[in-house]
Amino acid sequence: METAADEPAVPHRHFVVHKPFGYLSQFVADLKKKKVLGALHDFPAGTMAIGRLDEHSEGLLLLTTDGRMSHEVRSKKVEKEYYAQVDGLITDEAVAQLRQGVEIGIRDVKYQTLPCRAFRLEAAPDFPARTRKIRDDRHGPTSWVSITLTEGKNRQIRKMTAAVGFPTLRLLRVRVGAVELGALAASEVREVAHFSLPA
């Protein structure tokens, strides 16, 4: 007689998602009006987000049914690259500060961010307009910066750019490890066989 232990294991499934503005990186919300990932696709039971993007952030989100894979991606070995649109024309000095690490607050405790890669984007990335308008041009110029981290504190990018005097207006994650957002449209979900991660 076959037992549960004899049954073949169900293979894990993995998804690449372009999380749109206004969605939570979860499947259940305390408030009914909040938008969750389950509204984007019929994900299998046990699917979990690997890391999070806050409600107002957009871009690349990896989902999996494999808890071990989730732990591996969330480890400090895996780079996460973000594009941030900031208020004002970010200076070389501010970018240098971001690279060296800046002091931010994490739950009322001061934290020094680790050194990271950062550079100003000379041209604005070709992303479609956000569903909620950023602001009017009459409020002054904006610029874009790329920041690549191997850590992931709560709202870290936003806190980092604010610490150097250039608050973030729009934030998109464009890469996790070797997985890139590329041309994936907002709300689009793509199932993949595996995630490309560093060895």
The CA angle 52-174-188, to the nearest 5 degrees, is 75
Instruction: Dig out the tokens for 95 from the structure.
Output: 């970018």
**Is 66 annotated as catalytic?**
no
Catalytic residue among 6, 30, 42, 54: 54
Instruction: Dig out the tokens for 152 from the structure.
Output: 């992931």
CB neighbour list of residue 105: distance below 8 Å, 6 or more residues apart: 111, 159
How many Cβ atoms sit within 10 Å of the Cβ of residue 159? 19
State the Cα–Cα distance between residues 107 and 114, nearest whole angstrom.
18
State the Cα–Cα distance between residues 95 and 92, nearest whole angstrom.
5
Q: What positions carry a catalytic annotation?
A: 54
